[in-house]
């Protein structure tokens, strides 16, 4: 929600204020949990379409699709599904999320686990009829986190761009690798994403 949104603010006023500022998109942050009521989500979604502001959703930070613990995996799936449900009501896409942490596991093992968990999430989304919502694994800024450029591109390639869309956060990329110095550095990332 833009800081300049008039008081009392909130997501609905934030969407309207984005349009006044000349912005065409806004991320609805559920980073500490999905707490928006269904009727408000529907109202915000209708208003965003009316004023021409595209919405995306950021899922809670508590997701780890690489965990060894079934309880953490179940909670991770639940957080993504709650975010996808809200996104469906908001007419928002993608649902951006941080995929997880290596925690001593190999890249291949994390990829296998993440694909297994995301398949279950996508199956449940399909059963619920939320096919208008795409999942967006975000490029992560920590080297300890599963989610480098190749990993999020592989998730999109594996599931298809209509189900999983990589979210390239250039600030996170630079924090992870310190390699964004020229226009060509950005172009290489975009070219690689486009090729996948």
What stretches of the chain show up as alpha helix (H) in DSSP? Answer: 11-20, 38-51, 70-90, 107-128, 149-159, 170-177, 183-195
Q: For residue 100, is it left (φ>0), alpha (ψ between -120 and 50) or beta?
A: left
pLDDT digits (tens, 9 = 90+) for 22-45: 999 999 999 999 999 999 999 999
Rounded distance between C-alpha atoms, residue 167 and residue 186, angstroms: 14
pLDDT digits (tens, 9 = 90+) for 7-16: 888 999 999 9
- Whole-number percent of the chain with pLDDT over 90: 96
| pLDDT at residue 185, as a whole number | 95
Question: Whose structure tokens read 């609905």?
Answer: 12
For 10, the token pair is 């909130």
Burial 120-150 (b: 16+ CB within 10 A, else e): ebbebbeeeebeebbbbbbbbbeeebbbbbe
Model confidence at 173, in pLDDT bands (50, 70, 90)?
Answer: very high
Cα–chain center distance at 182: 26
Say if CB 90 and CB 54 are below 8 A apart. no
Query: To the nearest whole number, what is the mean pLDDT of the chain?
Result: 96
For 173, the token pair is 């990329």
How far from 63 is each of 18, 76, 129, 164, 191, CA to CA, in Å?
29, 5, 23, 16, 29
| pLDDT at residue 8, as a whole number | 87
Handedness of CA 183, 186, 189, 190 (dihedral sign): negative
| pLDDT at residue 9, as a whole number | 85
Model confidence at 179, in pLDDT bands (50, 70, 90)?
Answer: confident
Mean pLDDT of all residues in 117-140: 98
Question: Whose structure tokens read 């995306």?
Answer: 56
Q: Which pTM does this prediction carry?
A: 0.95
| pLDDT at residue 172, as a whole number | 95
Handedness of CA 98, 103, 107, 111 (dihedral sign): negative
Is 189 a residue whose pLDDT tops 90?
A: yes
Is 80 a residue whose pLDDT tops 90?
A: yes
Rounded distance between C-alpha atoms, residue 148 and residue 91, angstroms: 28
């Amino acid at each position: 929600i833009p800081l300049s949104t008039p008081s009392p603010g909130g997501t609905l006023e934030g969407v309207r204020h984005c349009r006044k500022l000349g912005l065409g998109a806004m991320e609805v942050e559920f980073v500490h949990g999905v707490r928006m009521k269904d009727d408000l989500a529907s109202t915000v979604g209708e208003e965003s379409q009316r004023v021409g502001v595209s919405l995306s959703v950021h899922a809670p930070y508590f997701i780890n699709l690489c965990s060894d613990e079934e309880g953490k995996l179940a909670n991770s799936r639940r957080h993504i599904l709650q975010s996808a449900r809200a996104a469906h009501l908001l007419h928002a896409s993608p649902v951006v999320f941080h995929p997880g942490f290596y925690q001593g596991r190999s890249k291949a093992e994390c990829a296998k686990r993440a694909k297994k968990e995301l398949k279950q999430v996508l199956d449940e989304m399909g059963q619920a009829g939320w096919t208008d919502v795409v999942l967006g694994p975000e490029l992560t800024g920590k080297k300890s986190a599963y989610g480098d450029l190749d990993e999020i591109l592989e998730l999109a390639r594996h599931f298809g761009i209509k189900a999983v869309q990589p979210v390239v956060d250039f600030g996170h990329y630079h924090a992870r690798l310190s390699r964004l110095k020229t226009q060509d550095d950005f172009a290489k990332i975009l070219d690689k994403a486009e090729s996948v």
